Amino acid sequence: MGKVAINIATGSLLQEEVIVGIDLGTTNSLIAIVKSDTHEPIALREIDGLTLVPSIVHFDQMGGTTVGTPAKELLVKEPERTIYSAKRLMGKSYKDVSHDSGMFAYNIIDDGTDALVKVQVGDKFYSPIELSSYILKELKKRAEHILKVSVTKAVITVPAYFNDAQRQATRDAGRLAGLDVLRIINEPTAASLAYGLGIKGSDEKTIAVYDLGGGTFDMSILTINHGIFEVLATHGDTYLGGDDMDNLIVRYWQEDAGTSDDAPGFGTHIDKALAQELRVTAEHAKKHLTNNDVFEGEVAGRKVRITKDDFNGLIQPLIDRTLHSCTSALKDANLGVGQIDAVVMVGGSTRVPAVKEAVKQFFGRDVHDALNPDEVVALGAAVQADILAGKNTEMLLLDVTPLSLGIETMGGLMDVLIPRNSKIPTKAGRQYTTQKDGQSGMRITVYQGERDMVQDNRKLAELNLNGIPAMPAGLPKVEVTFLIDADGILKVSATELRSGVAQSIEVKPQYGLTDEDVENMLMDSLTHAKDDIQMRALMEATTEAQQMLETTEKFIAKNRDILSDDEVAATQAKLQDLRNAIAEKDKNKIQHETEALNEVSRPYAERVMDAALKDAMRGKKII
Ligand code: ADP
Ligand code: MG
């Protein structure tokens, strides 16, 4: 495992690269970054002042797309051309969604097979992956517009209950949008990270995440132990959310407009346009009631009204349903409310005061709700991205994997389980299956490297899983897990879940690898534009070296009295060597000298940083 090169003045890694965090939501999506100066996660805000992009795509007659708020406005006028909730279809076959296809106003293709769902718009067909990629493209464009740099790397969140196919579909959508998806993380994990839960390596906590969004409710119970999150239980309702609150208000106004003049409501026979106007006004009313006791408005020239008490009465059954899910999740996790150390509120609908109150009561404790609940998942994704980029200050003494680790899959392809730059210890797993009927053995070959074909990567180990009972191809479920412990030992295990047949091995990924090898493997992965890469490598090495020079000089000046004369003299000598290397424009030499400088300064830098960190952490939040 390679140490992260630390900037001894700021504790940050010497590299500049934006990795964004993305919440690809059912209702709304957004993108966030961690600010490099303050280390704070922020949601990116367009000039329209908004951070949320409605997860809606509209297709015009020519196949052109509009995404977000302008598409939302076309929802009523052209329902069959305006696709919402594509996330519900990710990684699903028609069979999976057939019983709720009536929920969608657009056309879902039914070819009667197990094939993946497609959506028909005019004479064109779109997969949910493509639909999601349009949303991701829009987010990428926004980020590039706001940040004025190209954005190619992202961490994307998914619900904790997403299976492998759904996660893979999300990854593919990212790739289609031109994003290298460094990691897919669970939404509740992201929300916890946004609150700084689990950032400190030693944290050991049990966290309940209550996520009430636009159309879905998810309760997740997580544990965090030495930086590794584990989902103990999830429970929820895929058709319960803020939209239902809006519908309840609409129905209330259909029965009774709520005005004092005893006027009757709008009735049940209303046209599409009026229905939509009622819905829009209802959502507005709901939001208004977060901070007010009564809402008064107008729909189709008529007055409408609803009080907070009325609203709370309407939604009480919805709240009760969410609390039942909480009970179930706790039961599944074998925990009592008393064993929950923190409760995190997520999703726009948790802004409703009655919801918040009910959750506090249920868990008998205060909840984390200081961050915007509809942004918190993206903020946490940004924190994860920051950790991957090695910029998180808390990371400064931690190790990362310098190269990606994965296994060979069909066609000699590298399937990465643990991406490079992952903080260790770390754990990852994925399910595979057999290709032949009656196949009784499976060879799992572990590789390290960044190339797409395993033949170009470094083979680390081979594991044979034998004794799989005879089954038709595709039926066995072989779970492969990679676990890298704090010492950098990789443990690979494979288990056939139906029969319990298992096998495991341990490898030391860095064994026999020099830094140069690692560097070469990284370089090789970027086969295209080799010259560019060399130039870039020199530039990066130079920038890193210059920053290192500058900060070391400042550091010495500032801490002269804590350092010994020997330390100062040794450092001065290395500083001069590095200046010479920079002048020679020799990348390897520059890197060598940077590392040498790092080597002499690391012991005392850590000494001083440790003291400073202890100070900073006393009674302070990390992010
Ligand atoms: P998702 O995770 O499904 O994409 P969000 O977390 O963005 O959804 O939540 C969207 C929901 O939050 C919508 O139903 C919206 O009306 C609701 N919402 C947003 N702000 C408020 C508010 N102030 N009061 C009540 N509900 C709100
Ligand atoms: Mg959400």
CATH of the domain at 590: 1.20.1270.10
Atom 8 of ligand 1, residue of closest alpha carbon: 213
Predicted local distance difference test score (pLDDT) of residue 623: 35
Domain with 553 in it: 531-617
| Long-range contacts at 410-415 (CB < 8 A, ≥ 24 apart) | 410/435, 412/453, 412/454, 412/455, 413/452, 413/453, 413/454, 414/447, 414/449, 414/451, 414/452, 414/453, 414/454, 414/457
Instruction: Tell me, yes or no, whether 509 and 550 share the same domain.
Output: no
Question: In percent, how much of the chain has pLDDT > 90?
Answer: 45
Q: How far is CA 322 from its chain centroid?
A: 24
Q: Of 388, 414, 435, at which residue does a domain stop?
A: 388
Ligand 1 center–CA 81 separation, angstroms: 24
Mean pLDDT of 506-517: 64
Single pTM value for the model: 0.65
Sheet holding 342-346, edge to edge: 228-237, 217-225, 204-212, 342-346
Q: Ligand 1 pocket check: which of 284, 287, 357 to mutate, most ligand atoms within 8 Å of Cβ?
A: 287
Atom 13 of ligand 1, residue of closest alpha carbon: 214
Q: Ligand 1 pocket check: which of 23, 26, 28, 379 to mutate, most ligand atoms within 8 Å of Cβ?
A: 28
Predicted local distance difference test score (pLDDT) of residue 36: 83
Predicted local distance difference test score (pLDDT) of residue 117: 87
Instruction: Tell me, yes or no, whether 64 and 187 share the same domain.
Output: yes
Q: Ligand 1 pocket check: which of 349, 351, 369 to mutate, most ligand atoms within 8 Å of Cβ?
A: 349
Over 90: is that where the pLDDT of 618 sits?
Answer: no
The radius of gyration of the chain from alpha carbons, rounded to an integer in Å, stands at: 27
Over 70: is that where the pLDDT of 34 sits?
Answer: yes
Instruction: Tell me, yes or no, whether 383 and 431 share the same domain.
Output: no
- E strands in 500-546: 502-507
Ligand 2 center–CA 168 separation, angstroms: 19
187 belongs to the catalytic site: yes
More confident residue, 456 or 358: 358
Mean pLDDT of 221-245: 88
Q: Ligand 1 pocket check: which of 239, 286, 357 to mutate, most ligand atoms within 8 Å of Cβ?
A: 286
- pLDDT category, 453, cuts 50, 70, 90? confident
Mean pLDDT of 396-422: 73
Ligand 2 center–CA 347 separation, angstroms: 5
Q: Are 363 and 343 in contact (CB under 8 A)?
A: yes
Determine the atom of ligand 1 nearest the C-alpha atom of 347. 6
60 belongs to the catalytic site: no
Tens-place pLDDT, residues 420-446: 767 777 889 988 888 788 899 999 999
Block residue for tokens 């031109």: 178
- pLDDT category, 1, cuts 50, 70, 90? very low
Ligand 2 center–CA 359 separation, angstroms: 18
Over 60: is that where the pLDDT of 320 sits?
Answer: yes
Instruction: Tell me, yes or no, whether 507 and 552 share the same domain.
Output: no
Dihedral angle over CA of 185, 191, 196, 202, nearest 10: -50
Q: Which of 195-199, 354-358, 403-407 has the highest mean pLDDT?
A: 354-358
Determine the atom of ligand 1 nearest the C-alpha atom of 373. 6
Tens-place pLDDT, residues 81-139: 999 999 999 988 887 787 776 777 788 877 666 678 899 999 899 999 999 999 999 99
More confident residue, 480 or 531: 480
Ligand 2 center–CA 25 separation, angstroms: 5
Residue 432 covered by a domain? yes
Name every protein residue with a CB atom under 6 angstroms from any ligand 1 atom.
25-28, 213-216, 241-243, 283, 286-287, 290, 347-349, 351-352, 374
Instruction: Tell me, yes or no, whether 461 and 509 share the same domain.
Output: yes
Predicted local distance difference test score (pLDDT) of residue 512: 56
Ligand 2 center–CA 143 separation, angstroms: 19
Instruction: Tell me, yes or no, whether 28 and 108 share the same domain.
Output: yes
* Distance from C-alpha of 370 to C-alpha of 565, rounded to nearest angstrom: 48
- Mention every residue, 6+ apart, whose C-beta is less than 8 A from residue 111: 94
- E strands in 153-194: 153-158, 180-186
Predicted local distance difference test score (pLDDT) of residue 396: 30
Q: Which of 200-204, 277-281, 359-363, 562-566 has the highest mean pLDDT?
A: 359-363
Q: Of 327, 357, 388, at which residue does a domain stop?
A: 388
* Distance from C-alpha of 60 to C-alpha of 66, rounded to nearest angstrom: 8
CATH code at position 256: 3.90.640.10
Residue 609 covered by a domain? yes
Over 80: is that where the pLDDT of 2 sits?
Answer: no
Mean pLDDT of 138-159: 92
Over 70: is that where the pLDDT of 511 sits?
Answer: no
Atom 18 of ligand 1, residue of closest alpha carbon: 348
Residue 171 covered by a domain? yes
Residue 421 covered by a domain? yes
Ligand 2 center–CA 212 separation, angstroms: 8
- pLDDT category, 620, cuts 50, 70, 90? very low
Instruction: Tell me, yes or no, whether 173 and 41 share the same domain.
Output: yes
Residue 126 covered by a domain? yes
Predicted local distance difference test score (pLDDT) of residue 505: 83
Predicted local distance difference test score (pLDDT) of residue 211: 98
Over 60: is that where the pLDDT of 616 sits?
Answer: no
Structural domains counted in the chain:
4
Instruction: Tell me, yes or no, whether 95 and 182 share the same domain.
Output: yes
Mean pLDDT of 24-53: 92
Residue 115 covered by a domain? yes
Instruction: Tell me, yes or no, whether 569 and 506 share the same domain.
Output: no
Over 90: is that where the pLDDT of 538 sits?
Answer: no
Ligand 2 center–CA 26 separation, angstroms: 7
Mean pLDDT of 312-316: 98
* Distance from C-alpha of 623 to C-alpha of 618, rounded to nearest angstrom: 13
Over 80: is that where the pLDDT of 555 sits?
Answer: yes
Q: Of 130, 138, 172, 187, which one is the catalytic site residue?
A: 187
Q: Is the dihedral of CA 271, 274, 276, 282 positive or negative?
A: negative
Determine the atom of ligand 1 nearest the C-alpha atom of 291. 23
CATH code at position 184: 3.30.420.40
Look at 245-254, 490-499, 513-522 and tell me which has the smallest mean pLDDT: 513-522
Predicted local distance difference test score (pLDDT) of residue 76: 81
Task: Find the ligand nearest to 215 CA.
Answer: 1
Mean pLDDT of 261-286: 87
Predicted local distance difference test score (pLDDT) of residue 310: 96
Question: In percent, how much of the chain has pLDDT > 70?
Answer: 84
87 belongs to the catalytic site: yes
Q: Of 267, 282, 312, at which residue does a domain stop?
A: 312
More confident residue, 117 or 530: 117
Instruction: Tell me, yes or no, whether 97 and 148 share the same domain.
Output: yes
- Arithmetic mean of pLDDT over the chain: 85
Q: Which residues surround ligand 2, an ion (CB under 5 A)?
A: 25, 213
Residue 282 covered by a domain? yes
Predicted local distance difference test score (pLDDT) of residue 380: 95
Mean pLDDT of 143-153: 90
Atom 22 of ligand 1, residue of closest alpha carbon: 287
Residue 27 covered by a domain? yes
Instruction: Tell me, yes or no, whether 140 and 270 share the same domain.
Output: no
Determine the atom of ligand 1 nearest the C-alpha atom of 52. 7
Instruction: Tell me, yes or no, whether 90 and 168 share the same domain.
Output: yes
Over 50: is that where the pLDDT of 486 sits?
Answer: yes
